[in-house]
Structure 1
Amino acid sequence: MIVKTSRPAARLAALVLPLAALAGMGTAAQADDWTPTSAIEFIAPANPGGGWDTLVRTTSRVIQEEGLADQNFAAINVPGGGGAVAWAQIARDTGNPHKLFATSPPIILVPLAGTSQYDHTNFTPIARLITDYSIVLVPRDSEYQDLNDLFDAIRENASLSVGGGSAPGSMDHISIAGVASAAGLEAADVNYIAFSGGGEAMTNLMGGHVEAVITGAGEAAGQLGPDSEVRALGVSAPERLGGPLADIPTYQEQGIDYTFDIWRGVMGTPDMPEEAVAYYEELFAQMLETDGWADARDQLGWIDAYQNSEEFGAFLDEQKEEFSEVLSELGLIR
């Protein structure tokens, strides 16, 4: 059966369909055209000097120098609880598109250890940016020449301590416990001392309050050199890094079959609007392509490891499963 359409009705349909399409395009355009209307609070959930702080200040500087955003990215330090204090504040700011924070494994490890009620599922993933590795540092005049020297000393004297800039059961603790276990110690034998950030950990190392410090290789890169007051015993990478870290042996080179990688990225407030997420993930993707970023990345010993919001969210879920198993094996889940 053939249905005839009157000419007026056909003309009306011809008008209605394009108008509907234009309306849809307008909505998409509004989402694509979203930009911040005020300065962005970019939070490092620790004191100055640590990995989060380095990421926040480096990315903010590159974005500004490369002219990638009209609004300023204001670096703000909110220390305490291995990140928990900052996360509690950010969690109360639901939907705010002008607040971001640097993140890394503690966003999963700290809640698993029972010291934060907020984990990655309470926030909005924006992008994973880089991978870094752990590095073990001692004072320049330390008697320990390599990792095995340090662990031998710990075997003989359980009171010897290793400091780190993350909470008990979090990233630095897991990293040093893991390499110690691979070296033949019990994970619990490591007397780990938690400080509020990498900067405080380094201050206590130089003050003689801990035997060694475990921290991010990238944040330590600027402190190493011929005239440095610290030496590195080893790095958790699968192979030697470049730049100022090229001479640091890996754990595996010292007969300890263990690696640990510290990814770092950016997250936003709970339920951040989709158009804001799209803006930020594209902004950080553009940043990674700039010469300014390449220079900073190489100087800090970082490795690009970009994931967009969706990919980063799935990655975080996988990390939670893996870390849950590790923490259970080490007896660090409360």
Structure 2
Amino acid sequence: MKRIFLSLVAAVSLALPAAAADYTIIAPANPGGGWDQTARSLQSVMQQEGISGNVQVQNVPGAGGTIGLAQFASQSAGNPNALIVGGYVMVGAILTNKSPVTLKDVTPIARLTGEYEAIVVPASSELKTIGDLIAALKADPGAVSWAGGSAGGTDHIAVGLIAKAAGVDPTKINYIAYSGGGEALAAILGAQVTAGISGYGEFEAQVQAGTLRLLAVTSAERMAGVEAPTLKESGLDVVVENWRMVAAAPGLSPEQKAAVSADIEKLATSAGWQEVLKTKGWQDSYLSGDAFDAQLDKDIQATEAVLKDIGLVQ
């Protein structure tokens, strides 16, 4: 009888799925920003889809994500239940802040989302097209002021690439960094700057309301439902996507990394995540494994080159 009971227990144990891992996700920014939204979307979908029974989000803001990255790398080593979100802005921040901790000190798992940049001017501006803005930039680079996010971030990099493609010295650009999207938006709407640049989602409501004029987007092809040319259409060979990623802790075994990667793949292919992408207006840029590692290396090298051109990195 005892043997039969043990056999039944063993059979039931084999039939049950492995317990879902609990995760803690570091959002290396203040609540409300892109990384925080990404972390909390991960939290919601992983619990909703049964990928994880319990997901906690912790905000560790500062220095373009490098403070959170350093804390994560030192405090979470070997922990398979710890994750951090990051992205293109972090790549630039690591370089401009000369951060001793880099993405090589964690375990990149996958690129998740992307968002293209938009160039706007206030509705009252005399600049009607991207051609008008580029003509003004060529005539006097310093007289054209750009409002965007943190120095060395995606917005700053995009302006540097635009200047370079237009034949303007990138070190001459007049870029004004704002710590929050709301501050930058107020400066643009108040015509305190010539133009603004950020992810399209940051400006969508104002563009639709007619208070901002959308001049161009940085996608390779026209964005669905967006009435604006790409920079490439306008004769500027520039494509910029502000991507976001998720990484695991350093020091994981191959088996632990594979388990985390499998959970993130389940998330990326779930109906819940696809709904988040649609609701947030994020591009599905999922890329994982060796392909993501190779692309990340390329992006880091390209970013370093651009920041040297702008004069932010020696």
Above 0.5 in TM-score? yes
1:51 corresponding residue in structure 2: 34
Code of the aligned partner of 1:146: T
Which secondary structure does the structure 2 equivalent of 1:213 belong to?
strand
Specify which of 4, 11, 24 is matched with residue 40 of structure 1: 24
| Cα RMSD (Å) | 2.9
C-alpha change, 1:209 and 1:111, in structure 2 (3 Å) is same
Residue aligning to 1:327: 307
Q: Determine whether 1:303 maps to 2:283.
A: yes
Percent identical among aligned pairs is: 34
Asked if residue 128 in structure 1 is aligned to residue 111 in structure 2, the reply is yes
Matches within 5 A, 1:51-90: 51-74=34-57, 76-90=58-72
Where does structure 1 lack aligned partners over 5 or more consecutive residues?
1-28
> Residues 88-147 of structure 1, C-alpha deviation per residue, up to 9 Å, x if partnerless?
222221233343222212333223334422221111112111333221233343333222
Separation in 2, partners of 1:132, 1:313:
20
Whole-Å Cα distance in 1 between the matches of residues 19 and 250 of structure 2? 18
Please give the TM-score of this superposition, normalised by the length of structure 1.
0.76
CA positional deviation for 1:250: 0.8
Deviations 1:268-305 (A, max 9, x none): 23324544433332222122222332233234443323
Structure 1 95/203 Cα, relative in aligned 2: closer, same or farther at 3 Å?
farther
CA pair 239-182 structure 1, distance change in 2 beyond 3 A: same
CA contact (8 A) 2:248 2:260 kept: no
Q: Residues of 2 paired with 1:42 and 1:80: CA distance? A: 12
* Counterpart AA for 1:54: Q
What is the aligned partner in structure 2 of residue 238 from structure 1?
Answer: 220
Residues 68 and 145 from structure 1, CA distance in 2 versus in 1: closer, same or farther, beyond 3 angstroms? Answer: farther
User: Secondary structure of 1:61's match?
Assistant: helix
The residue that corresponds to 2:147 in the other structure is 163
1:215 deviates by 1.6
Indicate how the Cα distance of structure 1 residues 308 and 252 shifts in structure 2: closer, same or farther if over 3 A, else same. Answer: closer
Of structures 1 and 2, the larger Rg is shown by: 1
Q: 1:118 aligns with which of 82, 101, 109?
A: 101
- Choose the corresponding residue for 1:288, options 262, 265, 268: 268
Shift, 1:70, TM fit: 1.0
Q: Residues 63 and 69 of structure 1 are in contact (CA less than 8 Å); yes or no, is this contact kept in structure 2?
A: yes
Residues 315 and 227 from structure 1, CA distance in 2 versus in 1: closer, same or farther, beyond 3 angstroms?
same
| Residue number in structure 1 paired with 2:197 | 214
| Local SS of the residue matching 2:233 | helix
Q: Paired residues, what number?
A: 297
Gaps of 5+ in 2: 1-13
Tell me, what secondary structure is at the counterpart of 1:253? coil
Q: How does 1:262-273 map to 2 (within 5 A)?
A: 262-273=242-253
Structure 1 CA distance for aligned equivalents of residues 241 and 190 of structure 2: 28
CA offsets 1:215-266 (integer angstroms, 9 cap, x no match): 223x4365355326433221111111124xx212211222322212232211
Q: Counterparts of 2:199 and 2:24 in 1: how far apart (Å)?
A: 26
Counterpart code for 2:297? D
